């Protein structure tokens, strides 16, 4: 088929990696107006009874800009809990494009690119051709594990650049709050030699964020007594907090082993309350010893 408009580079047979056979690549160069025609490659060999043929329709494809889907839904971040964000890019042609993940911390004016590190990992496979052969798609993943207050209010963006665009397109998670519900211990009975006329009950709150606790409500036999502020609030190395709530009640109010002490802890205004209950008889006493 060699002509002024078509040229063939037959290539050269080279030894295959296994050292037992040969392989050869042949290339056909064609003019723009040749697109849309059907081309047949026919291969003959002494080991073949009849030549083998493969055909291809060289149809022109129109450049298409990428469509960037919404990032995978994520309502909040939890310290120590791994997160995977996914960004689906589809409908673009040709198949070369650049996907960049960016991070914008709370209070930062501009986002900065995220690189693969100990805290973040990015996976963007090669784009795949759609069944109709007209466009490509790819899904990029960003994985990370929130660790502490520096991740509170963080925002991630998936930015896509393609030759059909004058400006990159992007999608954002929006600011993501960091939240960790407290781990509430069972109710403990304390002793205090200096408060013989009072019974002391306590709970420990562990690994919560942010620091503020909306409500701690103590009840005796179903009757609310008082709301308490947690005491001894301390930070943990990972940026979360721990605290203790101590409730004092007159010993004379504990009239029998069937009485129940209950505490209700509500971290945030929209969080579900966490409850713990203690039956005095189960603690082996009718009233706490002091």
Q: Rounded to the nearest 5 degrees, what angle is found at the Cα of 118, between the Cα atoms of 126 and 72?
A: 50
Residues near 17 by Cβ (< 8 Å), separated by ≥ 6?
none
Q: What domains, with CATH codes, occur in the chain?
A: 67-172 (2.60.40.10), 183-283 (2.60.40.10)
Closest CA to 265 of 234, 227, 211, 225: 227
What global pTM score does this model have? Answer: 0.65
Buried b (16+ CB within 10 A) or exposed e, 1-37: eeeeeeeeeeeeeeeeeeeeeeeeeeeeeeeeeeeee
Confidence band of 4 (pLDDT split at 50, 70, 90)? low
Mapping DSSP onto H, E and C, the string for 242-268 reads EEEEEEEEEHHHCCCCCCEEEEEEECC
What share of the chain has pLDDT > 90, as a percent? 43
Q: Which among 204, 203, 197 has a CA at the least distance from the CA of 219?
A: 203
* C-alpha–C-alpha distance, residues 60 and 37, integer Å: 10
* Strand partners of residue 136: 92, 129
* pLDDT on residue 97: 95
Average pLDDT value for residue range 69-76:
85
Q: How far is CA 4 from CA 50, 99, 125, in A?
A: 30, 41, 40
Residues 280, 102: Cα–Cα separation, whole Å: 55
Please name the residue that has the structure tokens 């290339």: 27
- Phi, psi of 105, rounded to the nearest 5 degrees: -75, 160
Other Cβ atoms closer than 10 A to 200: 17
Averaged pLDDT score across all residues of the chain: 86
- Provide mean pLDDT across the span 148-167: 93
Q: 290 falls in which pLDDT band (50, 70, 90)?
A: very low
Name the CA radius of gyration of the chain, rounded.
34
Cα–Cα dist 290/287, whole Å = 9
Does residue 231 surpass a pLDDT of 90?
Answer: no
**pLDDT at residue 256, rounded to an integer:** 73
The string of pLDDT tens digits covering residues 177-227 is 999 899 999 999 887 666 667 888 999 999 999 988 999 999 988 888 777
Over 60: is that where the pLDDT of 284 sits?
no
Instruction: List the beta bridge partners of residue 199.
Output: 249
Q: What is the mean pLDDT of residues 11-20?
A: 85
Report the pLDDT value the prediction gives residue 166, as an integer from 0 to 100. Answer: 94
Cis peptide before 37 (omega within 30 of 0): no
**Spatial CA neighbour of 39 closest among 8, 81, 78:** 8
CA 67 to chain centre: 21
pLDDT value at 287 more than 60: no
Res 289 pLDDT > 50: no
- pLDDT value of position 141: 96
Phi-psi region of 257 (alpha: psi -120 to 50; beta: other; left: phi over 0): alpha
């Amino acid at each position: 088929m060699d002509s002024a408009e078509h040229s063939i580079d037959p290539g050269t047979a080279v030894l295959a990696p296994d050292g037992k056979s040969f392989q050869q690549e042949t290339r056909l160069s064609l003019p723009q107006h040749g697109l849309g025609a059907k081309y047949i490659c026919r291969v003959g060999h002494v080991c073949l009874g009849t030549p083998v043929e493969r055909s291809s329709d060289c149809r022109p494809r129109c450049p298409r800009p990428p469509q960037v889907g919404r990032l995978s839904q994520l309502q909040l971040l939890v310290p120590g809990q791994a997160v995977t964000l996914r960004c689906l890019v589809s409908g673009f042609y040709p198949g070369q494009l650049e996907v960049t993940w960016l991070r914008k911390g709370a209070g930062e004016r501009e986002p900065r690119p995220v690189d693969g590190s100990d805290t973040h990992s990015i996976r963007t496979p090669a784009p795949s051709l759609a069944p109709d052969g007209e466009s490509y798609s790819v899904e990029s993943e960003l994985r990370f594990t929130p660790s502490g207050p520096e991740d509170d209010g963080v925002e991630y963006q998936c930015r896509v650049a393609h030759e059909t665009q004058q400006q990159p397109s992007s999608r954002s998670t929006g600011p993501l709050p960091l939240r960790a519900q407290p781990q509430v211990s069972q109710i403990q009975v304390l002793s205090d030699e200096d408060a013989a006329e009072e019974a002391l009950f306590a709970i420990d709150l562990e690994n919560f964020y942010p620091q503020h606790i909306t409500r701690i409500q103590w009840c005796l036999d179903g009757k609310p007594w008082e709301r308490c502020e947690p005491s001894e609030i301390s930070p943990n190395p990972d940026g979360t907090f721990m605290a203790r709530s101590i409730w004092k009640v007159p010993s004379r109010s504990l009239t029998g082993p069937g009485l129940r002490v209950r505490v209700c802890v509500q971290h945030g205004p929209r969080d579900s309350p966490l409850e713990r209950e203690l039956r005095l008889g189960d603690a082996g006493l009718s009233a706490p010893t002091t």
